[in-house]
Amino acid sequence: MSDPPDSETEPQTLPRLLRPILDPPEPDPDPAVRRTARLLAGLLAILIVVFGTSDLVLVLTRTGYKPPWLGYAFLLGSWLLNRHGRHGAAAALTLAMFPIVIFGEILGGTVADPRAALSFLLLGILVASILLSPRGTLLFAAANVAGMLLLPVVAPATVPSLRTIFGSLVLCILVAGLVLVSMLHRDRIERDRQALLRDGEERLRLALEAAHMASWEWNVRTGTVRWSEGAAKILGRAPGGAPASIEDYLRLVLPDDRSAVQESMRAVLAGEAQRYLVRHRVPAAEGPPRWVEAHGRVDRDCDGRPVRTRGTVFDVTDRQGAEAEREELIRELERKNAELERFSYTVSHDLKSPLITIRGFLGFVEKDAADGRIDRLHHDVERIVKATDRMQRLLDEVLQLSRIGWSANPPERASFETVAREGVALVRARLEARRVEVAIDPDLPEVCGDRLRLVALVQNLVENAVKFLGDQASPRIRIGTRPGPDGSLPVLFVEDNGIGIEPAFHEKVLGLFEKLDSRTEGTGVGLALVKRIVEVHGGRVWIESEGRGRGTTVCFTIPGPPPHAKAVPSLPA
C-alpha cells in the first residue's frame, strides 16, 4: 500500500481578482475555517453590491431619499471582523443588521411603507439559514416575528395596527417555516449520505482485517523464491505448492496481468521505483481467479546491485470487491445528489406559484376589509383556499414521489394482467364517467417487484390516459405487451386514442411538474411517479406518439421474477 502524501495542497479555485476580497490577509491553515471565511465574505460582498446598487438608483431617482447608512456600517464591520478571523462575530453582526436597521427605520418614522421595509426580513431569514443551524434560524425568525407583533405598540404612528402589516407577518412566518423544513430535509439527506459512506468504509475495513497475509523473499541472483506458511493458499495452490522460482511465479500470474508485474519488477530492480507494489490475479482452485497484492523492497550490495527482494503478499479479493462496491456507492450517491439538486430546484420553483397567489390575495383581503366589501372578501378567501389546496396537493405528491425507492414491501411475482386489473379497478368510476373502453391483453408476462407500487404504476398511467383523451367519441385504452428488441425484456404498454404528444415533448412530459397544457387538471407528477417506479424496479420507460390527434403509447419494461420469488394468485377477470 502506498504511503500517503506528506502534505495536502488546496486547489486555487478562486479567480485572482476575488482573492483580496474573499481571502483574509493571513488565511487560516484549517480548510474548514477558510471555507467559512470565504462563504461569509461572499455573502457580505453580494449584500453590499445589491444594497449599494439599489440605494444608488433610489438616490438618483427619488428626491430626498436617505440611504440606511447604519446598515452599511454593519456590513463594513462584519467584513472587517471576518478579515481578522472573527467569523462568529461577523456572522452575528450581519444577521443583527436586518432587524436593527429595519425596526430602527420604522421606529424613527423614516419609512413610508413599513411593509416594504419588513420584506427585507425575509432576506435576513435566508441569510440565517446559510450561516446558522436550524435551531439558530428558528430563534432568529421568532425574534423577527416578535418584533413585528410589537410594532403597533412601540410605533403606532407608522404601524397603527397589525392589519397594516398582516400580509408581511404571514409571509415572514411562511418563509421561515419553508426554510426550516428545507434545512431539516437537507440535514437528513446529509446524515443519510454520511451513513452510506460510513457503511462503505466499514465494509472495506472488515475486508482488510479478514485478509490473510504471507511473506516472501526473492534471491535476485539465483532466481529462487522462499515463502512463509499460508502463501500457497493465497496463491491458489495446494499446500506446499508455492512457486519455487520467479519464473514459476510469473507463469502463475494470469496472462492479462503478467506484463504489469514484469514491469514493476524491472522498475524496482533498476532503481526507478523505491518500492515494489503490484496487484494481479492468480487462478483459484475453484471458482473465479483470486486477486493478490504484493509489496516489497530491494536489498542492494555495496555497489548498488540488487541482491534480494523481500516483502509480503496477501489475498485482496474481498478488498477488491469492497472497493468496487464502495465506488458504486459513491457513484450512486453522486447520482442521488444530482437528482436531489434538480428535485429541490423544481419543488421550490413550483411552490412559489401558490405562495404568490396567497400573498396577493392577502393584500386584497386587507384592502377589502378596510373598505368593508364583504362580498369581495368571500372571493378573496376562496382564491386563497384554492391556492392552499394546490400547495397541499403538490406537497402530498412530492412526498409520495420521495417515498418511492424505499423498500416498503417485499418483492413478489405476479402476472401483469393481475396487476393491470387491480390498477384499472381503482379508477373504474372515472372510466365509466367518460365511457372509456379498457382492453387488457391476455397472457401478459410475469413481473417481480413491490406489488402496491406496480398497481400504482398502472393507476397513474390509466388516469393520465383518461385525462388526455380529448373529445373522442369512442375513447379506448389498451394495456398490452410486445416482444423486446433482440430478445430483451418484453415491452409492456398503455395505449390510448387521445390527443397525442408531439415527438419533441416525449422526454419532457416524464419530468417532475411538467405539463404541456397548464389548463389541464393535476400537478404534473403522475408520469414522474411512473418513471420513478419503473426505474426503481430496474426497468425503463419511454413515450411513443406520432403527434397531435394520433394517440399516445407509454412503454416500459419490468424485469421478470427470479425462480424463488413469491407468486401472487391472479384475480378473476
What are 49-93's pLDDT values in tens digits? 888 888 788 788 877 777 888 888 888 888 888 877 787 888 888
CB 315 within 8 A of CB 292: yes
Burial class (CB in 10 A: 0-12, 13-18, 19+), 498: buried
pTM (predicted TM-score) = 0.37
Q: What are the boundaries of each domain within the chain?
A: 212-315, 408-567
Structure-model confidence comparison of residues 151 and 366, the more confident one: 151
Residue 525: the pLDDT is 65
If you average pLDDT over residues 392-420, what whole number do you get?
69
- Kindly indicate whether the domain formed by 212-315 is annotated with CATH number 3.40.190.290: no
Ranges of beta strands (E only) in 197-349 are 213-219, 225-227, 276-282, 290-300, 306-315
Asked if residue 262 has pLDDT above 60, the reply is: yes
Terminal Cα distance for the chain, rounded: 64
**pLDDT number for residue 353:** 54
Average pLDDT, the chain: 78
Would you place residue 479 in the very low, low, confident or very high pLDDT band (cuts 50, 70, 90)?
very high
Q: Which of 153, 147, 139, 145 is nearest to 169 (CA)?
A: 145
For residues 219 and 336, give the distance between their C-alpha atoms in angstroms, rounded to a whole number: 52
- Which of 216-225, 234-243, 521-530 ranks highest by mean pLDDT? 216-225
Task: Give CA–CA dist 298/289, Å, rounded.
Answer: 28
Residue 260 near residue 281 (C-beta atoms within 8 A)? no
28 and 86 Cβ atoms separated by less than 8 Å: no
Higher-confidence position of 142 and 355:
142
User: Matching CATH topology for 212-315 and 408-567?
Assistant: no
Q: Kindly tell me the sign of the dihedral angle through the C-alpha atoms of 222, 223, 224, 229.
A: positive
- Check pLDDT > 70 for residue 206: no
For the cut 70, the answer to whether the pLDDT of residue 403 exceeds it is: no
pLDDT exceeding 70 applies to what percent of the chain? 79
Confidence of residue 12 (pLDDT cuts 50, 70, 90): very low
pLDDT on residue 494: 92
Cβ density class 310-323: b for 16+ within 10 Å, e for less: bbebbbbbbbbebe
What is residue 198's predicted lDDT score, i.e. its pLDDT?
Answer: 84
Amino acid type, 153: V
What are 488-542's pLDDT values in tens digits?
A: 789 999 999 888 888 877 777 776 555 555 555 555 566 877 888 888 888 889 9
Q: How many whole angstroms separate alpha carbon 78 and alpha carbon 87?
A: 8
User: Do residues 421 and 431 lie in contact, with contact meaning Cβ atoms separated by under 8 Å?
Assistant: no
pLDDT band at residue 6 under the 50/70/90 scheme: very low
Beta bridge partners of residue 38, listed in sequence order: none
pLDDT band at 439 (very low <50, low <70, confident <90, very high): very high
| Residue, of 549 and 552, whose pLDDT is higher | 552
CA dihedral 253, 257, 259, 265 (to 10 degrees): -70
Cβ 207 vs Cβ 318: under 8 Å: yes
Please tell me the distance from the alpha carbon of residue 222 to that of residue 207, in angstroms, as a whole number: 36
Residue 569 in this model has a pLDDT that exceeds 50: no
Q: For residue 30, what pLDDT is reported? A: 63
481 and 495 in contact (C-beta within 8 Å)? no
Choice among 83-97, 196-210, 244-258, 451-465 with the minimum mean pLDDT: 196-210
199 Cβ contact list (under 8 Å, min separation 6): 329
pLDDT band, residue 209 (cuts 50/70/90): very low
Say what the pLDDT of residue 404 is. 56
- The SS3 of residue 407 is coil
Closest to 557 (Cα-Cα) out of 434, 454, 460, 478: 454
pLDDT for position 440: 92
**Considering only CA atoms, which of 18, 186, 46, 39 is closest in space to residue 123?**
46
CA-closest candidate to residue 90, choices 99, 100, 98, 80: 80
What pLDDT is stored for residue 8 in this prediction? 37
Q: Is the pLDDT of residue 553 over 90?
A: yes
Q: What is the pLDDT of residue 477?
A: 92
Residue-level pLDDT at 76? 85
Q: Tell me the sheet residues that pair with 312.
A: 215, 295
- pLDDT tens digit string along 29-40? 565 676 777 788
The domain defined by 408-567 carries CATH number 3.20.20.80: no
Cell of 50: 445589491
CA distance 107 to 115: 13
